[in-house]
Amino acid sequence: MSRYTDGTWTTAQQDGPKVRMIDPHTRSLIFEQRYLQTAEDWEPLALDTTNTEGAFLVHESDPQALDCGILSWTRTFAEVPSERDEYGEYVHPRQYLVDDSLAELAVKTTARFNYKYFHTSDPSEISLLRAPKLVQLGDVILVMYPPFPDEGEERVAEDSKLTRWRWQGNIWEMLTIYVTPPTIEELVL
């Protein structure tokens, strides 16, 4: 194993090979690299720093003390994953208009789970999708978050959810669930 140092360990030095992994869900590349440095010179690297492959720093382990005042730790870098779809069963609260009244049924259907990824330090810039909803107030039925899709068209089943993707970096995952619910005629037949 080759080590390249500045002779004093005052700057972080790679220790061993860079480990490349593929995330099992997103198929994006993740890189882990061990580093060594003197304890008095160690400081964490800023999140979002890129490595030579252009991946972003998303995690840095706590440093572990070795002999002679040297610390060892691991940095994890990740690429922003590509958008992907998965399919599965979903219970959708399907709304229907029946004789000027609003009805809702829980309908089991196939859903498309859409995952989109964003790299940003300000997640409030990401536009989340809202699910169309009917609300009845007395004799008035309101359509919330239009446009309300036509029968038989795919629709957003529930409001999008935004979470930080793994670790602590600035890669965000937005999950939107889409369904094509059956019409009331299809449910009755």
Question: What pLDDT digit, counting tens, does each position of 24-64 carry?
Answer: 999 999 999 999 999 999 999 999 999 999 999 999 999 99
Domain that holds residue 19: 13-78
Domain-ending residue, one of 45, 78, 111: 78
| Together in a domain, 93 and 72 | no
pLDDT band at residue 73 using 50, 70 and 90 as cut-offs = very high
Cα separation, 179 vs 155, in Å, equals 6
| Together in a domain, 65 and 113 | no
Could you tell me if residue 4 is inside a domain? no
Could you tell me if residue 8 is inside a domain? no
Cα separation, 66 vs 148, in Å, equals 62
| Together in a domain, 96 and 69 | no
Could you tell me if residue 5 is inside a domain? no
The more confident residue out of 7 and 140 is 140
| Together in a domain, 171 and 89 | yes
pTM across the whole model: 0.82
pLDDT band at residue 2 using 50, 70 and 90 as cut-offs = very low
| Together in a domain, 91 and 153 | yes
| Together in a domain, 101 and 138 | yes
| Together in a domain, 101 and 139 | yes
* pLDDT above 70: percentage of residues in the chain: 94
| Together in a domain, 179 and 97 | yes
Burial 10-25 (b: 16+ CB within 10 A, else e): eebeebeeeeeeeeee
Q: What is the mean pLDDT of residues 88-109?
A: 87
pLDDT of residue 146: 66
pLDDT of residue 182: 75
Asked if 32 and 76 count as a contact pair (C-beta separation under 8 A), the reply is yes
| Together in a domain, 71 and 115 | no
Average pLDDT, rounded, for the chain: 89
Q: Which of 109, 104, 73, 69 is nearest to 89 (CA)?
A: 109
| Together in a domain, 53 and 133 | no
Q: Indicate if the pLDDT at residue 142 is higher than 90.
A: no
Quote the number of domains for the chain: 2
Domain-ending residue, one of 55, 78, 101: 78
